[in-house]
Amino acid sequence: RDKRFSGPFRLPTVPRPNLKCCMLGNAAHCEQADRIGVDHMSVEDLKKLNKNKKLVKKLAKRYDFFLASDNMIKQIPRLLGPGLTKAGKFPTLLSSSDDMQEKIDEVKSTIKFQMKKVMCLNVAVANVDMDKQQVIVNTQLASNFLTSLLKKQWQNIGQIYVKSTMGPAFQIYF
């Protein structure tokens, strides 16, 4: 029985381009988010939530991931409580020198392998709009990274399937 593990990995092409982002930041970052069309919240907006568990949960459900300014990242647990952490959506740090659009693309193209009690893993590695070669590259890189996380490498893997949302599953590793 293997230990639980988790590890993020950045793919060359974005597997899920429709992820919704929210910027939790200072005035400068909120202004920048406005320019590129990203939802944003300032410290005052977060204080209005007043650690209300239902509102924080609703906020976590509405967005797929969060970015936070470097000066605000320490205040977030104090302002929102454990709600975002429990949902697995604790904000990614955005320093003042980083380009916001670049950071958003980086987070969108990052996949997270998380093995908990169940010995089964699902990860999005591609979407319908990608061409065949991009799907192949993403799948190979993701499976190679997964094997690097495992103790016995490929001996730990039983099968690997590729499946579209409504389509049948295709076994690619036996």
Q: Which residue has the higher pLDDT, 98 or 134?
A: 134
pLDDT at 31: 81
Q: Is the dihedral of CA 117, 121, 124, 125 positive or negative?
A: positive
**24: which 2 tokens?**
């939790």
pLDDT bracket for residue 1 (50, 70, 90)? low
Cβ atoms 10, 145 nearer than 8 A: no
Identify the CA nearest to 82 among candidates 62, 52, 112: 52
Q: What's the Cα-to-Cα distance from 80 to each of 39, 47, 73, 75, 76, rounded to whole Å?
A: 18, 8, 11, 9, 6
Q: Give the chain's count of helices (H) and strands (E).
A: 7, 8
Summarize the confidence of residues 53-60 as an average pLDDT: 81
Domain with CATH 3.40.50.790 in the chain: 21-106
Worst-scoring range by mean pLDDT, 3-7, 38-42, 68-72?
Answer: 3-7
Summarize the confidence of residues 133-161 as an average pLDDT: 81
Tell me the pLDDT tens digit for each residue of 62-104: 888 888 888 888 877 777 777 777 777 788 887 777 777 888 8
Identify the CA nearest to 123 among candidates 132, 136, 114: 114
Summarize the confidence of residues 21-26 as an average pLDDT: 82
pTM of the model: 0.70
* Topology adopted by domain 21-106: Rossmann fold (3.40.50)
pLDDT at 25: 80
Amino acid residing at 78: R
pLDDT at 18: 82
pLDDT at 2: 56
Scanning the chain, the segments in alpha helix (DSSP H) are: 27-36, 43-49, 53-62, 76-80, 83-86, 100-108, 132-149
Summarize the confidence of residues 47-61 as an average pLDDT: 79
Q: Is the dihedral of CA 46, 47, 49, 52 positive or negative?
A: positive
